[in-house]
Amino acid sequence: MKTYKLFENLGYEILNKGEDRLVSGVYCCDLLSVAMSKGKENAAWVTVMSNVNTVAVCTLVDMSCIVLADGSSVDEAMLEKAKEHNVCVMRSKLPVFETAKEIFDTLNLFGDRLEEYCD
Amino acid sequence: MSDKLRFHYEVSGEDFTRAGEASSDLKAKLKLMGASPEVVRKVAICMYEGEINMVIHACGGVIDVTISPADILLELKDVGPGIPDIEKAMQEGYSTASENIRSLGFGAGMGLSNMKKYSDEMKIDTVLGVGTTVTMRINM
Ligand SMILES: Nc1ncnc2c1ncn2[C@@H]1O[C@H](COP(=O)(O)OP(=O)(O)OP(=O)(O)O)[C@@H](O)[C@H]1O
Ligand SMILES: [Mg+2]
């Protein structure tokens, strides 16, 4: 599944459209240096940590998009950075687990290859 | 002619919004050069953790990168406070990051151990009140 299809299906708010990338799993973590080491390529990253560094970590480990859970607020700097690096940032109203679960279920529903990881 | 490529980065200690830019730039360069995804990932992790440490613990510094056919050398030099106890600092979970820094998602105390784990060789030279130099080598 691709990012655009994911937010279409789940009705997430689009904060920055970015690149339409393959999503093949879900990763959850708010500690950046843990995400840096454990985040997997092409995972949708569900987090409540919303700042410029979230975008930096996402691009460095090649996760496919950032899904801000719990309706987390974002600042201009983060959106600027997301634009600059062409990173898709969406927002869900649900908490981290529920958000990750619905992404997981959606991916499963579409029969995609899936690796699930949560720290 | 030398078969080494060198890049130099200045890392600002004040501008948090730019932290990670040197790492992103190097990552893009390595991808263009056709380095393997695994090497790119290892370098990105090592460089980012080092770059962030310079910003949050040492008011910035300079990074010199040397790329040769056999390996990539990262040298991160700062004139910050130095590290009083390297062994302690290397422990997973040990962090002196302030509340403010933690609220940005840093301070898990994982940075140095990530650098150790993802580099093939790592060396820390530090003098209290003078600064810290972290050198890492990642094999191609
Ligand atoms: N360049 C540096 N100058 C001075 N002190 C440093 C430097 N790098 C690391 N330290 C010290 O070592 C500790 C551990 O560093 P480490 O990168 O492992 O964790 P952290 O930066 O505190 O948190 P994290 O990297 O998980 O966000 C830091 O909290 C800090 O006290
Ligand atoms: Mg660190």
Q: What is the CATH number for A53?
A: 3.40.1390.20
pLDDT of residue A117: 41
Question: What single DSSP character describes residue A12?
Answer: P
Q: Give the count of domains, chain A.
A: 1
Contacts of A49 in chain B (CB under 8 A): 104-105
Q: Which ligand lies nearest to the CA atom of residue B97 in the structure? A: 1
The per-residue pLDDT for range A82-119, each reduced to its tens digit, is 999 999 999 999 999 999 999 999 998 876 555 544 34
Q: HSE-up of A1 (CA within 13 Å, CB side)?
A: 27
Taking each helix axis from N to C end, the angle separating B21-33 and A52-60, rounded to the nearest 10 degrees, works out to 20
Residue in B closest to A49 by C-alpha: B105
Residue in B closest to A76 by C-alpha: B17
Whether A103 maps to a domain, the answer reads yes
pLDDT of residue A119: 40
Q: Any chain B CB within 8 A of the CB of A105?
A: no
Span A14-18, average pLDDT: 97
Whether A60 maps to a domain, the answer reads yes
Predicted TM-score (pTM) above 0.80: yes
Whether A118 maps to a domain, the answer reads no
Pair B96, B104: CB distance under 8 Å: no
- Closest CB from A53, A60, A81 relative to B44: A60
Whether A62 maps to a domain, the answer reads yes
Whether A115 maps to a domain, the answer reads no
Instruction: Tell me the pLDDT of chain B (140 aa) as tens digits.
Output: 578 999 999 999 888 788 899 999 999 999 999 999 999 999 999 999 999 999 999 999 999 999 999 999 999 999 999 999 999 999 999 999 999 999 999 999 999 999 999 999 999 999 999 999 999 999 99
pLDDT of residue A114: 52
The per-residue pLDDT for range A23-75, each reduced to its tens digit, is 999 999 999 999 999 999 999 999 999 999 999 999 999 999 999 999 999 99
Whether A112 maps to a domain, the answer reads no
Q: Any chain B CB within 8 A of the CB of A62?
A: yes
Q: Which of A33, A36, A119 to mutate to test the pocket of ligand 1 (most atoms within 8 A of CB)?
A: A33
Question: What percent of chain A clears pLDDT 70, i.e. is strictly above it?
Answer: 92
In whole angstroms, what is the distance from residue A35 CA to residue B33 CA? 26
Q: Where are the domains of chain B?
A: 5-139
pLDDT of residue A113: 52
pLDDT of residue B70: 95
Whether A22 maps to a domain, the answer reads yes
Domain B5-139, CATH number (from 3.40.630.30, 3.30.499.10, 1.10.10.10, 3.30.565.10): 3.30.565.10
Which residues lie with the beta carbon below 6 Å from any ligand 1 atom?
Answer: A 32-33; B 49, 53-54, 57-58, 78, 80-81, 83, 89, 94-97, 106-112, 132
Whether A117 maps to a domain, the answer reads no
Atom of ligand 1 nearest to the CA of B105: 27
The per-residue pLDDT for range A63-79, each reduced to its tens digit, is 999 999 999 999 999 99
In whole angstroms, what is the distance from residue B94 CA to residue B103 CA? 16
